[in-house]
Chain A
Amino acid sequence: MAQLPIELILVRQLASGLAVPIFVVDAIGDLLYVNEAAEGLLGLRFDELGDVSFAEWTTAFAPRTPDGLGAGPGDLPLVVAIRERRPVHGPLEIVGRDGVARSIEVTAIPLVGTRGQLLGGLAMFWEEPR
């Protein structure tokens, strides 16, 4: 498996040292990294995951809008951020792998390299008090 771009390696380094839950995907949307804080929020252990494709993670947490409508992959802030190369912020209802329903706020940004190439994206989560 080829080495990842240095910018993504450094993003993981940063995320691994933060208490803010962070989720990182590559340019085609496949999952690259979930930090420890996000593990708790999503009810999973990153080290126990194998490869997780775009199709898998975009449906794995049963995302819904706050008014209860199902959120398709194209509606998720991280997907919009990558597709449109802009920051996106919004609320979501999810069900973690541990079966716990949570209300979260998501801020997603595209990761663009110094030469303008799209490398992936990251999402930061905030859990709303229930």
Chain B
Amino acid sequence: MIVRLWGTRGSLASSGPDTLAYGGNTASVEVRAADGTILALDAGTGIRRFGTTIDPLVERVDVLLTHLHMDHIQGLGFFAPFFRTSGQVHLWGPSSPTLDLRGRLARYLSPPLFPVRLRDLDARVVLHDAPDRPTMIGGFEVVAQQIIHPGPTVGYRITGDGASLAYLPDHEPALGAGRFPDEPRWTSGFDLASDVDLLIHDGQYTDIERAGRVGWGHSSVSEAVAFGELTRARRLVLFHHDPSHTDAVLDGMAAGADADARGIDVVAGREGDAYDLGSPDRTVA
């Protein structure tokens, strides 16, 4: 399983001279299996460049959306596989109690917010509710569960090629647990992330920032580390960087988190970073 980060920023794309190292594109992660299966996790602005690397002969790509906030879907209309008549794009995501995924996505993919409608895309587009039971997508087993974030939001656990990945880019597990991080049963996302090889998790805030933003649906870096330790993940990639955090700020946050972590490697996700979860030492590819 190869995991590659195409966008690690949260909330708002933030390109500029002080975000060159970690990147300014919003949430987009590529996951490839040895058998050629391609998953796109979320469709933030990073998915545009990711799409250009997908061979036009690839017949199927699956896009797994965690939720429909703009920083996770803004790149959808620029994803190259949508504009290939020979291919299929399967879109997975959470419905709401009153509106299915197509209806929810159409609110963005239609005028006046976007000139092209979902039904006008060239590829065959198939929509699915995010799978709440383990479901095979090519060479991967995928399961989604609702997690704490405003509005219908899921996290994903992906297993394949002898490795496992949990993707919870927007998540506030400390909100629901009475004594976070001491109550696994009452901790949002615990089952998804238990014992995974790689955990990609929200680490948007410093502790000081987080104190003023309880209930916004995001975590501090220290909470992300505590969640990673609780779930016994082997490596934590901090994700959904705040748009106001420069490279220098992120360097400091990541270094502090790695120093404080016990039994888990911690890094801040950078655009372009890749992880080969099939390699014996799980090193960066």
- Residues of A at the B interface (CB closer than 8 Å) are 1-7, 9-10, 12-13, 16, 114-115
Q: Which residue of A lies closest to B186 (CB)?
A: A9
Query: 1/0 per residue B233-263: CB within 8 Å of A?
Result: 0000000000000000000000000000000
Q: Given A12-B176, A13-B175, A13-B176, A3 and B148 touching (CB < 8 A)? A: no
Q: Given A6-B148, A13-B175, A114 and B190 touching (CB < 8 A)? A: no
A-B interface, 5 closest residue pairs, ranked by CB to CB distance from nearest: A9-B176, A6-B146, A3-B190, A3-B191, A13-B176
Contact among A2, A4, A6, A115 with B147 in the assembled complex (CB-CB below 8 Å)? A6
- Summarize B's interface: helix, strand, loop or mixed: loop
| Cross-chain pairs A/B with CB under 8 angstroms, 13 sampled | A3-B184, A3-B187, A3-B189, A3-B191, A6-B148, A9-B187, A12-B176, A16-B178, A114-B95, A114-B96, A114-B97, A114-B146, A114-B152
A117 to B133, CA, bound (A): 14
Residues of A within 8 A of B187 (CB): 3, 9
Tell which of A9, A16, A114 has the most Cβ of chain B within 10 Å.
A9
- B132 contacts the other chain (CB 8 A): yes
Query: 1/0 per residue B130-161: CB within 8 Å of A?
Result: 00100000000000011110001000000000
- B26 contacts the other chain (CB 8 A): no
Query: 1/0 per residue B171-195: CB within 8 Å of A?
Result: 0000111100000111111110000
B side interface size, CB within 8 A: 21
Q: Are A2 and B178 in contact (CB under 8 A)?
A: no
Q: Which residue of B lies closest to A5 (CB)?
A: B146
Q: Are A115 and B185 in contact (CB under 8 A)?
A: no
Minimum C-beta distance from A80 to chain B (A)? 24
Q: Are B176 and A1 in contact (CB under 8 A)?
A: no
Minimum C-beta distance from B66 to chain A (A)? 13
A-B contacts, CB under 8 A, total = 42
Q: Are B184 and A6 in contact (CB under 8 A)?
A: no
- Residues of B at the A interface (CB closer than 8 Å) are 95-97, 132, 145-148, 152, 175-178, 184-191
Q: Are B185 and A4 in contact (CB under 8 A)?
A: yes
Residues of A within 8 A of B96 (CB): 114
Q: Given A3-B191, A114-B96, A114-B152, A12 and B185 touching (CB < 8 A)? A: no
A74 to B145, CA, bound (A): 33
Q: Which residue of B lies closest to A117 (CB)?
A: B132
A113 to B275, CA, bound (A): 36
Q: Are B186 and A6 in contact (CB under 8 A)?
A: no
Contact among A2, A12, A16, A115 with B191 in the assembled complex (CB-CB below 8 Å)? A2
Q: Are A115 and B176 in contact (CB under 8 A)?
A: no
Q: Which residue of B lies closest to A6 (CB)?
A: B146
Residues of B within 8 A of A4 (CB): 185-186
Residues of A within 8 A of B177 (CB): 9
Q: Are B175 and A6 in contact (CB under 8 A)?
A: no
Tell which of A2, A6, A7 has the most Cβ of chain B within 10 Å.
A6
Residues of A within 8 A of B191 (CB): 2-3
Q: Are B148 and A12 in contact (CB under 8 A)?
A: no
Q: Are B132 and A115 in contact (CB under 8 A)?
A: yes
Given A6-B188, A114-B96, A114-B146, list of 15 further CB < 8 A pairs? Answer: A1-B185, A2-B191, A3-B185, A3-B190, A4-B185, A6-B176, A9-B148, A9-B177, A9-B186, A9-B188, A10-B176, A13-B175, A16-B178, A114-B95, A114-B97
